[in-house]
Structure 1
Amino acid sequence: MQWMTLFQKELLENWRNKKWIWVPLVIILLSIMDPLTTYYLPQIIDSVGGMPEGAVFELPEYAPSDVIMMSLSQLSMLGVLVIVLITMGTIASERKSGISELILVKPVYYMNYITAKWASFLLLVWVSLLLGLLVSWYYINILFGTLTVRDFFIIFFFYGLWLTLVVSLTIFYNTFVKSAGLVVFFTILTIMVMSIVTQIFQHVLDWSPNNLSGYIREVISTGELNSDLILTGVITLVISILLILISGQIFKRKEMAA
Structure 2
Amino acid sequence: MSQFLTLLQKEILEMWRNYKLVWVPIVFIILGVQEPLSIYYMPQILDSLGGLPEGSIIEIPTPAPAEVLVGGIGQYNMFGFIITILLCMSLVAGEVKSGTAAMILVKPVKHGYFIAAKWVGALLLLWVSFFIGYLVTWYYTGLLFDWVPFDSFLGSFFIEGLWLTFIVTISLVFSSIFSVPGAAGFASAATSIILMLVSSSLSHLLEWSPGMLPSYASIYLVEDSLKGDGVMAVVLTAVILVILLFLAMRVFRKKELAA
Superposition TM-score, scaled by structure 1 size: 0.96
- Kindly indicate whether the alpha-carbon contact (under 8 Å) linking 1:164 and 1:237 is maintained by their aligned counterparts in 2: no
Mapping of residues 174-185 of structure 1, within 5 Å: 174-185=175-186
Q: How many residues align?
A: 258
Q: State the distance in 1 between where 2:201 and 2:42 align.
A: 36
The equivalent residue for 2:236 is: 235
Q: State the distance in 2 between where 1:167 and 1:218 align.
A: 23
1:29 maps to 2:25 = no
Mapping of residues 125-204 of structure 1, within 5 Å: 125-204=126-205
Unaligned runs of 5+ in 1: none
Cα distance, 1:51 vs. partner?
2.7
The equivalent residue for 1:71 is: 72
Paired amino acid for 1:206: E
- The SS at the match of 1:145 is coil
Q: State the distance in 1 between where 2:225 and 2:132 align.
A: 25
Q: State the distance in 1 between where 2:198 and 2:215 align.
A: 16
Unaligned runs of 5+ in 2: none
Paired amino acid for 1:64: P
Mapping of residues 96-107 of structure 1, within 5 Å: 96-107=97-108
Q: Deviations over 1:128-181 (max 9, x none)?
A: 011001111110001111100110110111111001001101111110001111
Q: State the distance in 1 between where 2:204 and 2:44 align.
A: 44
Percent identity, aligned pairs only, is 40
The equivalent residue for 2:218 is: 217
Q: State the distance in 2 between where 1:199 and 1:83 align.
A: 21
When structure 1 is superposed on structure 2, of 114-123 and 152-161 the one drifting more is 152-161
Q: State the distance in 1 between where 2:30 and 2:85 align.
A: 17
The equivalent residue for 1:254 is: 255
Q: State the distance in 2 between where 1:253 and 1:36 align.
A: 50
CA-atom RMSD in angstroms? 1.4
- The SS at the match of 1:60 is coil
Paired amino acid for 1:145: D
Cα distance, 1:56 vs. partner?
4.1
Q: State the distance in 2 between where 1:229 and 1:196 align.
A: 17
Q: Deviations over 1:196-237 (max 9, x none)?
A: 321343222111112112222222222333222222112122
Q: State the distance in 1 between where 2:136 and 2:69 align.
A: 11
The equivalent residue for 1:80 is: 81
- The SS at the match of 1:81 is helix
- The SS at the match of 1:225 is coil
1:108 maps to 2:109 = yes
Q: State the distance in 1 between where 2:45 and 2:198 align.
A: 39
- Kindly indicate whether the alpha-carbon contact (under 8 Å) linking 1:216 and 1:229 is maintained by their aligned counterparts in 2: no
Cα distance, 1:49 vs. partner?
3.2
Q: Deviations over 1:49-83 (max 9, x none)?
A: 36322544321221111000111101101111011
The equivalent residue for 1:14 is: 15
Q: State the distance in 2 between where 1:101 and 1:217 align.
A: 43
- The SS at the match of 2:156 is helix
